Amino acid sequence: MPEPSRSDDGGAAESVDEGTAESVDGRTTESGGELATDGGSVSGVDGRVSGLTTYLRERPRLRTLAIAGPPYGLLVVFFAIPLLAMLVVSFQADQIGGAWTLRNYTDFLTSDTYLTVVWRTFLISVQVTAIVAAVGYALAYSIVRFSRRTTLLLLLVILPFWTSYIIRMYAWINILQSDGVLDSVLNLVGLPALSLLYTDTAVLIGFTYVWLPLAVLPFYASLTNLDGDLIEASKDLGAGPIRTFLSVTLPMTVNGVVTGVVLVFIPTFGSFITPRLLGGTNNVMIGMVIENQFKSAFNWPFGAAIGMVISVVVVALLLLATRLGGGLFGTGGEES
């Protein structure tokens, strides 16, 4: 039989290879077209962004509005408007939509019971603030001056924030209650049980535990910015540790101290969860009174009036702290 022509087979193979190459080239060309199209879309987006940037750069007021508008809008929607609504409700009688009256304010400001609760709340807030300021400042000072593992220690300070507030309060209930962890340890070493739950001491412990990390952070920031050479110079001039602290360290870190004090005092003054869980019904604070008016008595106007009075007190304290500290937003030791 005649043998098939190799040249024909070779031609067929070459034609197949050429077709394959053409198809590959076609896909390659098509892919290149897709890439070119994608590049064009990307360049188009960049062009629009560049045009918008140029447009805003030429209009400073519009640029400022675009940057500051959203944050201020959130403040207006979630802070100013609710506060204004609470102010309006506070002048209504008995319920929302009632007659306009000043009775809510007069009933609160002329009641010995409510004023006693406010005074008691103020005293507890002062005690908590003093304890947290002393312990927190000492802790921050030791972290800055005497420790090399600053990051680890700061992580341990903020670690409680990773756990729910309510869970931490229930943990303290288990520790402080009768026959709880604390009483068991005291009985083990031969000491009498304390049964601290539902006492003022339990409230102080709970508040101190909650707000201590919040105060340590501004204390730490202000102490970090303190020039250590000033402390050494004070010692070289013959000043002792106490005088050096009072004349150099504390004045140079006063902004951080005031910031920490405000961050502790104000939330303590309005808190109601910690005194309710650890103090019980016999240790009433003003935050618990406001909560009761909204959730139990359903006298929203009276609760709003109390809230507005407390808000005025808070604003007054902020203004006072600003004057004393020279600026709450500065945590450094030097005045600008």
82 in a domain, yes or no? Answer: no
Same domain, 29 and 167: no
Structure tokens at 327: 């600026």
Quick check: 279 pLDDT over 80? yes
Domain of residue 261 covers: 103-325
Distance in angstroms (rounded) separating the CA atoms of residues 8 and 11: 5
pLDDT, residue 170, reads 93
Structure tokens at 239: 């000043």
97 in a domain, yes or no? Answer: no
177 in a domain, yes or no? Answer: yes
The domain tally of the chain equals 2
DSSP 109-171: HT-HHHHHHHHHHHHHHHHHHHHHHHHHHHHHHHHHHH-S-HHHHHHHHHGGGGS-HHHHHHH
Task: Answer whether 132's CB lies under 8 Å from 329's CB.
Answer: no
pLDDT band for 8, please (50, 70, 90 cuts). Answer: very low
Same domain, 34 and 124: no
Task: Answer whether 109's CB lies under 8 Å from 309's CB.
Answer: yes
Least Cα distance to 268 among 81, 93, 173, 128 occurs for: 128
Quick check: 86 pLDDT over 70? yes
238 in a domain, yes or no? Answer: yes
194 in a domain, yes or no? Answer: yes
Distance in angstroms (rounded) separating the CA atoms of residues 161 and 36: 51
CATH number at residue 180: 1.10.3720.10
| Minimum mean pLDDT range among 24-38, 152-166, 218-232, 302-316 | 24-38
Scan for tokens 């009688």, then name that residue: 93
pLDDT, residue 41, reads 54
Same domain, 181 and 289: yes
Distance in angstroms (rounded) separating the CA atoms of residues 336 and 326: 10
117 in a domain, yes or no? Answer: yes
pLDDT, residue 325, reads 58
